[in-house]
Chain A
């Protein structure tokens, strides 16, 4: 799914895109980390709750282009879900529509096959219970809490109050590919370092967290 979202995001002026399924669950997104999960889920809820209200009058919505003071939001319902794209006000809508039409079919196919997967994964036996814990639980009270909290505190010195939100997202991303074990902490440090961006600060962060790795 991420691959199709990446295709959409190649259109100049596209800031982020996400797809949700017909149950209103956020399936995948490519938004900058400043848009946290809570923010995106709230937006998904707004779209999924309001879109059906327009069906009677329009005979079904094919696309909505909302223009705002500081950007544009394009909504493209697809079979089994919906795409939501955030763009700069200057985006070339025609280019975006071409990309959306190309991606829509792929997203539809992917939604049909991918949507049940996370539910199956959640129910899969033999997965250690700790991997089901939310990133926040893991940071607050998991077996690695002291390491994770230390890494988060150091990140706050570089990123200020946003560090908490960004660190939770990094942990979430880390858990997608790794078991929450001390041996995998260097990979978490890599993910966090990538969020800092500035090379000097990144190097400083790596040095400071090395005591936890």
Chain B
């Protein structure tokens, strides 16, 4: 389990967290869950990237998706994406804030 995954698992609603390169290679995680989350993170990044370029708002920085069963979060860095899945029972905005808080440099 990656360090980021361990860190974010401190949030009870977080199911999985995955760091992946922008060309889709998962970092330090070869599990099936990581493969699935990686695929959807990549999909979400492409979706947002295309939409952003069509409406002229620049590069995608992050995504918070409120789902019925599972929420998804995406954060972007220069070369990587962080994809996070969380239980749908959690408050999506509170989770978004908590993920950012845990990842913020101290």
A residues whose Cβ falls under 8 Å from a Cβ of B: 35, 39, 42-43, 46-47, 50, 53-54, 57-73, 86, 93-94
Contact = CB atoms under 8 A, between A and B. Distances in A.
A86 B65 contact: no
B72 interface: yes
Given A46-B54, A47-B51, A57-B40, A68 B61 contact: yes
A46 B70 contact: no
Interface in B59-74: 59-72
Contacts of A46: 47, 50-51, 54
Contacts of B47: 46, 50, 53
Interface in B13-41: 36, 40
Contacts of B63: 64-67
A69 B57 contact: yes
Interface of B: 36, 40, 43-44, 47-48, 50-52, 54-72, 85, 88, 92-93
Contact of B65 (A58, A69, A70, A71): A58
B69 A68 contact: no
Nearest to A97: B93
Nearest to A75: B51
Contacts of B67: 54, 57-62
Nearest to B56: A70
Contacts of A43: 51, 54-55
Contacts, number: 100
Given A58-B68, A68-B59, A69-B61, A93 B93 contact: yes
A173 B48 CA distance: 30
A59 B70 contact: yes
Most A C-beta atoms less than 10 A away, residue of B48, B58, B70, B85: B48
Nearest to B71: A58
B54 A68 contact: no
A35 B55 CA distance: 8
16 contacts: A39-B54, A43-B51, A46-B51, A53-B47, A57-B40, A58-B70, A59-B69, A64-B63, A64-B66, A65-B63, A65-B65, A68-B58, A70-B57, A71-B58, A73-B57, A93-B93
B65 A64 contact: yes
Contacts of A67: 60-63
Contacts of B57: 68-73, 86
Contacts of A73: 48, 51-52, 55, 57
Contact of A65 (B50, B64, B69): B64
Contacts of B93: 93-94
Contacts of B36: 57
Nearest to B69: A59
A66 B71 contact: no
A86 B55 contact: yes
Nearest to A94: B93
B59 A57 contact: no
